[in-house]
Amino acid sequence: MSRLKGRRIRERIIELFLFLAALSSVAITVGIVGVLLYESERFFRHVSLVDFLTDTQWTVLFADPHYGILPLVAGTAVTSAIALLVALPLGTVIAIYLSEYAHVKAREILKPVLELLSAVPTVVFGYFALLFVTPLLQRVLPDLPGFNMLSAGIVIGIMIVPYVSSLSEDAMKAVPAHIREGSYAMGATRLQTAVRVVVPSAFSGIASAYVLGFSRAVGETMIVAVAAGTQPSLTLNPTQGAATITAYIVQVSLGDLPHGTVAYQSIFAAGLTLMVMTLAFNIAGYLLRKRFREKY
Amino acid sequence: MRNIEKNIARRKALDALFAIVGLLATFVGMITLAALVVDLAVDGAGRLSLKFFTSFPSRFPSEAGILSAWVGTTLVMLVTAVTAVPVGVAAGVYLEEYAPKNWLSALIEINIANLAGVPSIVYGLMALGLFVYQLNLGHSILTAGLTLALLILPIVIVATREAVRAVPATIREAAYALGATRWQTIRDHVLPYSTGGILTGVIIALSRAIGETAPLITIGALTFIAFLPEPPLKAEFPFVSFDWLMSPFTVMPIQMFNWMSRPQHEFHVNAAAAGLVLMAMTLAMNAFAIYLRHRFRKRIKW
C-alpha cells in the first residue's frame, strides 16, 4: 500500500518539475519585458518621450547628445522594406511552385536545400553583402557607397525567403484536396487554382509567414551592422548608408560602455522600440488573419 | 468557339510560364547559396591550414588564427546544450502529455509561438541586464551559454512536441494496461520512440546557436582573446574544474565579424577562412539532422 503511495508522490513531483520547465518559457518573456521596461524607464528619466519620438538626430555618444530615435527607425524601415520587397514575392512564388507544381520527389530535395539558406550564420551573410553584393551593385550604380542599405536589404530578403516559402507552403498543403479538385473540375489551370482558390483558402497561414518574415527583417542585426554602416542618418534613400536600431545596439555594445550611464540605457530604449514595432506588426497580422480566416 | 479556344490556349500558356517562373525563383535561392559558398572559398580557402586552427588572433593577419574562437564556441555550445536540452524536452513533454486544457496552458502555448518572433538581439539585451548586471555572472562563457540556451529553447520545445505527438496512442495504452504510471510510460516508451525527432530538433537548434553573433556582442564578448579558459580537467583532486565557466571568451562568428570590420584586405581573407569553417560546421550539422530524420522515419514502423 505504501509503495503505491510513494509512487503517486513521485509522479506528482515529476509532473511539477515538467510543469516548471514549461513555465520557464513564460519566465523568458517576463524577463525580456521586465529588463527592457526597467532600463528604459531610467532612460526616460533623462530624455523626454517627445524628444525621443520627434528629434531628428541620434547622437548619444557625442558631446552634445540628441536622443531622436527617428533616424534609426528610418534605417530599420528602409532595410526591412527592401528585404520584404525581395522576400514576399519570391517566397510566395516558390511556395506556390512547390505546393502546386513541383513533383513530390523534386519538392523533397528542393525544400531542405532552400531551408539551408536560413541555416547560414547571419555574419556570413554580412560578409556576402559587403564584399560580394555591394561590389556587384556598384557595377550598375557606380556612385553607390561601400556601406548602403540596398545591398543589406537585398541580402536580408534572400535570407528570409525560406521562412516565408516554407510556412506558406505548409499552409497551402493544408488546403483540403477536394477544394482544389473542384476547381480543376471546372476547367481551371493549376495557376488559376493556385491564385484564386488555394492562396485565398490558405491566406491565414500565409499571413503568419509574412509576419514572421517581417519580424526577422526588422530584428536582423549582423547583416546591417556589417553592410549598411553604423552612421545614423534620417534618410529614406536606399543607396545611402544608415544605422538601424539593431546596428546601433551592436555598435554601442562593442565599445566599453559603463553600466548605468544614459548611453547604456539608450540601447534598452532602442530594444524596446524594436519590440514595440514587431509587436504592432504581429497584432496587425493577427487582426488580418481573423478578418480573412476561411473555414471549411 | 474560336474565342474559347484562344482563351484556353492563353490560360495554358500562362500556366506553363508560371511553372518556369517558379522554378527560376527556387533557383534564385540556391544560386545565392552557391555563390556565397564559392565566394567564401575563393577568398578564404588559401588561409586554411593547421596553423590557422592552432593560433591565437594577432595584429599580423598572416599569423592570426581561430584557436580561442573555436574553443570558445565549443565551450559555449556545451553550456547551451546542457541547459536547453533538458529544460526544452521537459517542457515539450509536459505540454504534450500532461498539460490540462486551461488558460495557463493556453498562455504557455501562445507565449512559445511569440518567442519565435522575438529578435535575437533582444535576448542579448535581456541577458545583459539580467545575467551580467543583476546576477553578476559577468561577460563569461556561462552568461553566453545561458543566453543562447534561452534563444533556442522554443525550437527544442516545438521539436519535442512534434516528436512526442507522432508516437501513436496505442503504445501509451498498452503501457497503461500493464499498470505503468504516466511517467513510466513516458520514460520507457514515449521518449525512446521520439528520440530521433528530438535529436534532429536539438541539432538544428544548436546549429542556429553556433552562428548567433548579435546577442553575444550585446552581453560583451571580447573580440581579442589571446588565452584559453581554464581546462575543465585537472591533474590534482577533484580533477574537474568549473573555472572556465566564468572565463571571458570569444566565438567563431564574433572573430569573423571583428576581422571583417577592419579595413585591411588581409584581414578580410581571414574573415573568409573563418566563415568557411563556420559554414562547414553549420552545414554539417544540418546535413546530419536531415540524415537522422530520414533514417528514423524509415526505421520506425508502428
> Which conformational region is residue B239 in: left (phi greater than 0), alpha (psi within -120 to 50 degrees), or beta?
left
CA separation for the pair A44, A268 (Å, rounded): 11
B126 touches chain A (CB under 8 A): yes
Task: Print burial letters for B247-284: b (CB count within 10 Å at least 16), e (below 16).
Answer: bbbbbbbbbbbbbbbeeeeebbbbbbbbbbbbbebbbe
Angle between helices B141-165 and A2-46 (to 10 degrees): 130
Contact B122 A32 (CB under 8 A): yes
Give residue-wise pLDDT tens across range B91-127.
999 998 888 888 888 888 888 888 888 889 999 999 8
pLDDT, mean of residues A192-207: 89
SS3 call for A176: coil
Highest-scoring range by mean pLDDT, A59-73, B35-49, B96-110, B152-166: B152-166
B120 touches chain A (CB under 8 A): yes
Q: Among candidates A279, A271, A280, which has minimal Cα distance to A35?
A: A271
Q: Among candidates A161, A136, A129, A132, which has minimal Cα distance to A228?
A: A129
Cα A276 versus chain centre, distance:
13
Contact A25 B23 (CB under 8 A): no
CB B205 within 8 A of CB B149: no
- Res. B301: pLDDT tops 70: no
How much is the mean pLDDT over chain A? 86
SS3 call for B204: helix
Query: What pairs with residue B233 in β-bridges?
Result: B240
pLDDT at A160: 92
**Range list of H helices, chain B:** 2-44, 50-54, 67-93, 103-115, 120-127, 141-165, 169-177, 182-185, 191-211, 214-218, 252-260, 265-299
DSSP symbols for A198-260: IHHHTHHHHHHHHHHHHHHHHH--HHHHHHT-S-------TTS----HHHHHHHHHHS-PPTT
B7 touches chain A (CB under 8 A): no
At residue A17, what are phi and psi to the nearest 5 degrees? -60, -45
CA separation for the pair B127, B133 (Å, rounded): 9
Share of chain A above pLDDT 70, in %: 98
pLDDT, mean of residues B225-235: 69
pLDDT at A1: 60
Contact A25 B91 (CB under 8 A): yes
Q: Give Cα separations from B280 to A120, B41, B264 (angstroms).
A: 10, 11, 25
Q: Among candidates A96, A107, A154, which has minimal Cα distance to A129?
A: A154
pLDDT band at B82 (very low <50, low <70, confident <90, very high): very high
Q: Write out the three cell numbers for B285.
A: 550539422
Comparing A99-103, B232-236, B284-288, the range with the smallest average pLDDT is B232-236
Give residue-wise pLDDT tens across range B179-228.
888 899 999 989 988 888 899 889 989 998 998 888 998 887 776 776 77
Q: Nearest by CB to A19, from B18, B86, B94: name it.
A: B94
pLDDT, mean of residues A81-92: 93
Q: Which residues of A touch B30 (CB under 8 A)?
A: 113-114
B25 touches chain A (CB under 8 A): yes
Pick among A5, A39, A123 to test the B interface (most B CBs inside 10 A): A123
pLDDT at B241: 67
- Nearest-CA distance B164 → chain A (Å): 14
Give residue-wise pLDDT tens across range A94-103.
999 998 888 8
Highest-scoring range by mean pLDDT, A43-47, A57-61, B175-179, B291-295: B175-179
Indicate the pTM of the whole model. 0.88
Q: Which residue has the cell 511556395?
A: A95
Q: Among candidates B137, B28, B239, B178, which has minimal Cα distance to A90?
A: B28
